[in-house]
Amino acid sequence: MWVYLSTGYPQRTTSKKGGLSTIEIHLFLLSNHKFMICKFASNPLDQLVITQKFGENPAFYKKYGMNGHNGVDFRTKFPDTPLGRREIYAVDDGVVIKVVRAKLGGYGTYIQISHEDGSMTIYGHQYNPHVELGQKVKAGEVIGISDNTGDSTGAHLHFGYRRASPNMYNGFKGYVDPSSYLNF
């Protein structure tokens, strides 16, 4: 996570034990206009074209016990990747805490990364993860290739974000809208 000072250079926040959590940083930002916004250090893809926003299609996601889409979907089919198989990048430094290889159901083949500030990101519907459980990854590192596995009607990347200590009963299984953390 980066914090941009309005007067100078970006500063890396480490948010270790006893440091500021992501939520605390945001509260500070609201009460002190010297700061602008926290962003992920990297985007999950080299092109961000949203095909489904957070919270959309509540009727479809009712079967998962959710109030709507619990992440953001991005197009991965472009002229240079007609099958929708693009490289997926870790958005921040972290550790891979889950690797699932499945053709059918939910997120299909997906991984989860735990980040230094206690937040977590998920990258769903993959073709082939390039990381193993417990592996340390750096922001911008290739972690897999996108595809159409799981409950998906076309190749895309499902990207989800949980803050530290998420409210698992928020109607989206603890996930929140990651849009404002991405670099469009």
Cα-flanking dihedrals φ and ψ of residue 72, to 5°? -125, 135
CA–CA separation, 165 and 109 (whole Å): 25
For Zn ion, give the closer residue by CB, 40 or 74: 74
CA–CA separation, 125 and 149 (whole Å): 5
Alpha carbon of residue 55 to chain centroid: 15
Considering only residues 75, 158, 162, 163, which one is a binding residue for Zn ion as defined by CB under 5 A? 158
- List the x/- string, 15-54, binding to Zn ion by CB under 5 A: ----------------------------------------
CB of 135 vs Zn ion, minimal distance in Å: 24
CB of 52 vs Zn ion, minimal distance in Å: 6
The answer to whether residue 73 forms part of the interface with Zn ion (CB under 5 A) is yes
- Select the span of 25-33, 81-89, 97-105, 153-161 touching Zn ion (CB under 5 A): 153-161
The answer to whether residue 117 forms part of the interface with Zn ion (CB under 5 A) is no
CA–CA separation, 99 and 123 (whole Å): 10
Helix then strand then coil, in percent of the chain rounded to 5, is: 10, 35, 55
CA–CA separation, 81 and 75 (whole Å): 11
- Select the span of 8-16, 93-101, 136-144, 157-165 touching Zn ion (CB under 5 A): 157-165
Token pair for 40: 């992920």
CB of 41 vs Zn ion, minimal distance in Å: 22
Token pair for 165: 């200590």
- Positions touching Zn ion (CB under 5 A) are 71, 73, 158
